[in-house]
Amino acid sequence: MLSLQFLITAFVVVIAPGTGVIYTLALGLGQGRRAAWWAALGCTFGIVPHLAAATLGLAAILHTSALLFNIVKFAGVAYLLYLAWGALKSDGALASKAETGTASGWRIARRGALINILNPKLSIFFLALLPPFLSGNAGTATIEMAGLGLVFMAMTLAVFLVYGAFAAAARRWILGSEVVMRWLSRSFAAIFAALAGRLALERA
């Protein structure tokens, strides 16, 4: 059930830098506020499959099946490396563009969703995070988990929108320097590559 303890725990988890935060910041700095908000929306909806898996008990299967876990994991690793490569390319997915020339909003959101969908640890995370905050009534457990998950999603979207707005505001100060933008692209590429390496080392 919803409680102050859950809200505090969820907030701490949401504000911690992760792949979704990095992606949103990269889009905000590179392409502006609109792109960052699409990124935030995509990352948020990328949570839905994992929340559903945890609610329906499928996350336990993912946790116990090393083969399934590794298939999803290495798909996620490959996708993060693709994003790292995109950050380095002048015309890549995270390339700096004028705000009027940003990539399609749906395309940005789809990439953000895939970042979370292809992270198998999220299902297991929800399976660990949500049950301690349930009332203990088996008859309402599924509804309670879904409700807590929706609150978590709402908090994720709100925090990511704020991150995106700050990144877009900072963009105006750095956009005039090609050197700064080039180093930012390299930095984001290195971060995505490092996150891919960390995900590759994760175990079910």
Please give the DSSP secondary-structure letter assigned to residue 177.
-
Residue 3: helix, strand or coil by DSSP? Answer: coil
Q: How much is the pLDDT for 153?
A: 93
Residue 197 φ then ψ, to 5°: -65, -40
Give the pLDDT of the chain (204 residues) as one tens digit per residue. Answer: 678 888 888 888 888 878 889 899 989 888 888 999 999 999 999 999 988 888 777 556 655 667 766 777 787 788 778 777 776 765 555 555 555 445 688 999 999 999 999 887 787 778 777 878 877 777 787 888 889 989 999 999 999 999 999 988 887 777 656 666 677 777 777 877 887 787 787 765
Q: How much is the pLDDT for 101?
A: 47
d(CA 10, CA 19): 17
Q: How much is the pLDDT for 112?
A: 92
> HEC profile for 20-57?
HHHHHHHHHHHHCHHHHHHHHHHHHHCCHHHHHHHHHC
**Does residue 153 contact residue 55 with C-beta atoms inside 8 Å?**
no
- In the chain, domain spans: 22-200
**Does residue 147 contact residue 71 with C-beta atoms inside 8 Å?**
no
Is 191 exposed, middle or buried (CB count within 10 Å of its CB: 0-12, 13-18, 19+)? Answer: buried
Please give the DSSP secondary-structure letter assigned to residue 89.
S
Is 2 exposed, middle or buried (CB count within 10 Å of its CB: 0-12, 13-18, 19+)? Answer: exposed
Opening angle at CA 14, ends 8 and 16, nearest 5 = 105
